[in-house]
Amino acid sequence: MIIRVGHLYPEYLNIYADRGNIAVFLHRAASRGHELRVEPITLGTRLEPGAHDLLYVGGGQDREQTMIAPDLAARAGALREAVEAGAALLAVCGGYQLLGRGYRGRDGSWLEGAGVFPLETLAGETRMIGDVLLESTLEEAPGRSIAGFENHAGRTVLDPGCETLGRVVAGFGNDGGSGYEGCRVGRALGTYLHGPLLPRNPWLADLVLSWALAHATGAGPQPLTPLSDELEQEAHAVSSARARERGGRPVRS
């Protein structure tokens, strides 16, 4: 199968090697005989309705996020339509924030978001940084562990009753207090975990790929053929151990 991927703003949103998530998708799709066709979608590029099975948004510095935010917000309708039609979506860190309703700065300024996720982010005075470990709250993989790295000052507050990505075992998560991390809407996932996320969590990469394949075929998600993931599991174990040892403590911005 051909899996059509829309990579939003790759030249602006690629902090902490978030582009590595695309490399993981490419490898794991090719290992099953599928072809991943990645199309960059950037300032001035049209997002065609129904043209992609998977959409990806990475994280960036404040300057780059502010630069692309109006363009991303203008795509709100197309993005929500894609998710409602069953396309998969993964948004990391700054992309996660900008796919909420918006970001409130310390000075009271408001940066409009795309509204894919039912949440808002508020600028905080302390920085939440370090290795993080989650217990998955996804219905497809309850209790599975997710390891990554977070570095954000924003406090992301989800609407009551929202689905999350995981329960925080070690680290900070969405806001440093709720005990949860990330957000899910349909086949769309948002998270603060990067570093990048998918090399150390291959099962999560495969879950998102299965959603993208389901969109491409028009059928329901099917389990993918298992791959040999010894190195990935080792990376996961090392990251998980660091998270448990380090815990997490806010750093003054």
**Distance, CA of 246 to CA of 151 (rounded, Å):** 14
Catalytic-residue membership of 194: yes
Catalytic residue among 152, 194, 215, 236: 194
**Distance, CA of 57 to CA of 47 (rounded, Å):** 13
Backbone angles phi, psi at 130, to 5 degrees: 140, 180
Residues 6+ apart with CB under 8 A from 212: 3, 5, 53, 54, 87, 88
Catalytic-residue membership of 27: no
Q: Token pair of 212, please?
A: 């993208």
Question: Helices marked H in 3-155 — which ranges?
Answer: 20-30, 62-74, 76-84, 94-98
Catalytic residue among 34, 93, 152, 183: 93
Residues catalogued as catalytic: 93, 194
